[in-house]
Structure 1
């Protein structure tokens, strides 16, 4: 089927109390593993990319991979731009066929974040695609962005309400509530009370950043509290590497590239299916609106 749109997909997930997995892909093989895993689980899925990955491969090649895979799939697939501060990259993604984009102004003062996010929001609205925006400082490392644990800032509830009121048609909203990018160094300190106060006042589906390393119980509580999109990046990248490395350890004299690509694909697809099961989106393709 044609690519789906983030807003419609996440509204379905929000209403159904499940979450859609959003995987940061690395290359063609990664995209194939994610969409094939979703197809096998009959689940909606979000393919998203970092700015540095887009700069490596280019807008059009990435769009061509994902559009081709989605056309052959029977499940909703959205193509999303992850953390981005550059409006030119946002425009480039939209022009190439992305169905949603993210503007990350979370490092800016509140008023400036609103103003800059509004610029991105107007670009996205004019093009008919969804926008994700972020408030607060989510800890950890994501691409070239690093926020130390002691510098992470939970989103202010009143500011969340004002932020979303300025952009009522956001596809998804990413407030900081204690999760972190990368591997957790200790027990995640999730501010469930803050998340629940935000979702009680804001009707926009919430995006959970920093999904790698959370427990099944933590995912379940976040999803039941309003998180409809869960980002998985670090785990997927690790499986991308481990797929090659594990086979090399098992077969050190194997110098044929294709078995390594196949092993990498299998490792990533297995992780995709595991996360889909945890998020409750398995079997939900037919009840997830694509547009």
Structure 2
């Protein structure tokens, strides 16, 4: 089926209290592992892409890969640009058929973040594309952005409300609630009270960033509190590397490249399916298509 828009997917997921996995693809093999894993689980899925991955492959190439995979699939698939502060990159994605984009102005002061996010919002709305925007400082490493976990700043509830009033048709909102990108140095300290307060006053679905390393119980509580989009990047990248490298340890040595690629694919797909089970979206593709 054609690529779908993220906003109605997430609205449905939020109302039914399950999460839609958003995996960061690396190449065609990782993208097909995401799609095939979702198909086996009959689950909606979001494929998202970092700016550095776009710089490697190009908007057009990535868009054509995912569009072709989606055309042969029978589950809803959205193609999303992850953390980006460059409006030209956002426009490039939109021009090449991506169905949602993210503007990340979280490193700027509140007023500047609102101003720049609104510019991205206007571009996305004019093109009929969904926008994700972020507030607060989510810890960890994401592309070229680094925020020490002890310097992360939780999103202020009143600022979140004012931010979302400026952009009422956001596809998804990403407030900092204590999670972090990459590997956690210690126990994640999630501000559940703040998350629950936000979801009680803001009707926009919430994105949970920094999913790799959370426990099943933490995922479940965040999803039950209104997180409809759950980002997984670091774990997928680890599976990308481990699935490939594990073949190297086999005896006798494997000298053909295809077994490496197949093992990489199977490892990534298994990880995708595991997260879909955890997030409660297994079997939900049919529900969305019927809606």
Instruction: Find the counterpart in structure 2 of residue 48 from structure 1.
Output: 48
Q: In 2, are the aligned partners of 1:5 and 1:99 still within 8 Å (CA)?
A: yes
For structure 1, the 5+ residue unaligned runs are none
Aligned mates of 2:251, 2:274 — CA distance in 1: 26
Aligned mates of 2:180, 2:212 — CA distance in 1: 9
Instruction: Find the counterpart in structure 2 of residue 235 from structure 1.
Output: 235
**Per-residue displacement from partner, 1:173-219 (whole Å, max 9, x unpaired)?**
00000000001111100000000111111000000000001001000
Instruction: Find the counterpart in structure 1 of residue 170 from structure 2.
Output: 170
State the 1:288 CA deviation: 2.1
Aligned mates of 1:227, 1:24 — CA distance in 2: 18
Aligned mates of 2:61, 2:248 — CA distance in 1: 29
**Per-residue displacement from partner, 1:6-39 (whole Å, max 9, x unpaired)?**
1011001011100100000000000000000000
Secondary structure in structure 1 of the residue aligned to 2:23: strand
Secondary structure in structure 2 of the residue aligned to 1:181: coil
Aligned mates of 2:290, 2:6 — CA distance in 1: 8
**Per-residue displacement from partner, 1:109-129 (whole Å, max 9, x unpaired)?**
000000000000000000000
State the 1:72 CA deviation: 0.7
Secondary structure in structure 1 of the residue aligned to 2:105: coil
Secondary structure in structure 2 of the residue aligned to 1:230: strand
**Aligned 1:129-168 pairs, distance under 5 A:** 129-168=129-168
Aligned mates of 2:288, 2:201 — CA distance in 1: 24
Instruction: Give the root-mean-square deviation of aligned CA atoms.
Output: 1.1
State the 1:104 CA deviation: 0.1
Instruction: Find the counterpart in structure 2 of residue 193 from structure 1.
Output: 193
Aligned mates of 1:191, 1:118 — CA distance in 2: 27
Aligned mates of 2:252, 2:87 — CA distance in 1: 46
Aligned mates of 1:97, 1:263 — CA distance in 2: 31
Aligned mates of 2:151, 2:135 — CA distance in 1: 14
Instruction: Find the counterpart in structure 2 of residue 72 from structure 1.
Output: 72
TM-score normalised over the length of structure 2: 0.99
Instruction: Find the counterpart in structure 1 of residue 99 from structure 2.
Output: 99
**Aligned 1:33-44 pairs, distance under 5 A:** 33-44=33-44
The size of the alignment, in residue pairs, is 291
For structure 2, the 5+ residue unaligned runs are none
- Gap change, CA 1:272 and 1:262, over 3 Å in 2: same
TM-score normalised over the length of structure 1: 0.99
Aligned mates of 2:143, 2:229 — CA distance in 1: 19
Aligned mates of 2:232, 2:252 — CA distance in 1: 30
Aligned mates of 1:133, 1:25 — CA distance in 2: 20
Q: In 2, are the aligned partners of 1:12 and 1:287 still within 8 Å (CA)?
A: no
Q: In 2, are the aligned partners of 1:8 and 1:290 still within 8 Å (CA)?
A: no
State the 1:251 CA deviation: 3.8
Instruction: Find the counterpart in structure 1 of residue 62 from structure 2.
Output: 62
**Per-residue displacement from partner, 1:69-114 (whole Å, max 9, x unpaired)?**
1011110000000000000000000000100000000000000000
**Per-residue displacement from partner, 1:228-255 (whole Å, max 9, x unpaired)?**
0000000000000001111111246211
